[in-house]
Structure 1
C-alpha cells in the first residue's frame, strides 16, 4: 500500500515538469504577424447610496438645499459588453499624444432622491426625485497630461 502511495506522489510531483511546453525562438517575420490584447474590461452590478448632498448659499440671507436618501440601483454592466479602459494615441495639434480612454457601454439604472429640503435637516421635504433608465452608452472619456 505504501509503495502505491509513494508512486502516486512521485507521479503527481513530476507532472508539472512533463507538461512544460517546448519554447522556440521566433524570427522577425513570424513575430510581425502576432497580435495581442491589452487594456482592461470591467463588468458588474453597481448599487449604492449617499446620505445627503447639501448646497449652502453663503450670501447674507444664507440658506441651504438638502437632497437626502439618495440611492442608485440596477446599474449593470454585462461581461459581453464591458466598460473598457485602454491607452490610445491621438494627434493633438500635430503631436501624437497618448491618452487613457474609458468607453462606457450600455448601463441603465435608476437614481432616487427620497427628500428635497430647503433649510436645515429638520425642514419638511418639498418632494422627491427619480431619474429612471439613465443610459450613458457610447460615452468616451479621454485623460492625458499636458
Structure 2
C-alpha cells in the first residue's frame, strides 16, 4: 500500500509539470524581439512641505527666510508623473517625465540682521514676506543612467 501511494504521488508530480508546460509554444527570434513588458509606471498624488529656515550670512550681513511652505502641488491620476526606460542613442536611460502641476511657495518672514545661533537666524528687521505662485514644471524630463 505504501509503494502504491508513493507511485501515485510521483505520477501526480510528473503529470503536473507536463500540464504546466502544455500551453507553452516556441517563438523564433523575430517574434521574441517584438515582445515587450510593461511600458513603465505612473505616479500621482498631492505634495506639500515646509522648510524651517534659510539663512544667508556674508561678512557679518545676515538675511533670514523663515516659515517657508510649499502647497497645492498635485499630480492628477489623469496626467501622472511617468517613469520609463528609453533608448537614447544606444544608451539605456531611466526617464522621469514631469506632468503639469502648479503650486505655491510661500516665505512668511524675511528678516535682515539678527542673531545666528544653533543653525537658526533670529530677530532682525522684517522686510515682509514672499509668495511665488503657479510654478509649473510640466513637460520637463529627467534622464538617469550609469556610466
Unaligned runs of at least 5 residues, structure 1: 1-19
Residue 71 of structure 1: CA displacement?
Answer: 0.6
> Which residue of 2 is the match for residue 103 of structure 1?
97
CA distance in 2, matches of 1:26, 1:34: 13
Give the TM-score of the pair, scaled to structure 1: 0.71
The counterpart of 1:70, out of the listed 64, 68, 71, is 68
Task: Report the secondary structure of 2:125's partner residue.
Answer: coil
Q: Distance in 2 between matches of 1:32 and 1:142?
A: 25
SS of the equivalent of 2:126 reads: coil
Secondary structure of the 2:99 match is: coil
Alignment coverage as a number of residue pairs: 120
Q: What SS class does the counterpart of residue 98 from structure 1 fall into?
A: strand
**4+ residue runs over 6 A deviation:** none
What RMSD in Å do the two structures reach over aligned CA positions? 2.3
Give the number of the structure whose alpha-carbon radius of gyration is greater.
2
Cα gap change, 1:126/1:40 in structure 2, threshold over 3 Å: closer, same or farther? Answer: same
Shift in alpha-carbon separation, 1:134–1:51, aligned structure 2, 3 A: same
SS of 2:38's equivalent?
coil
Q: 1:90 to 1:33 in 2, by over 3 A?
A: closer
Q: Which residue of 2 aligns with 1:143?
A: 144
Q: How far apart are residue 30 of structure 1 and its match?
A: 5.2
The Cα shift of 1:143 comes to 2.5
Gapped runs of 5+ residues in structure 2? 1-19, 115-121
User: TM-score when scaled to structure 2?
Assistant: 0.70
Look up the match of 2:24: 24
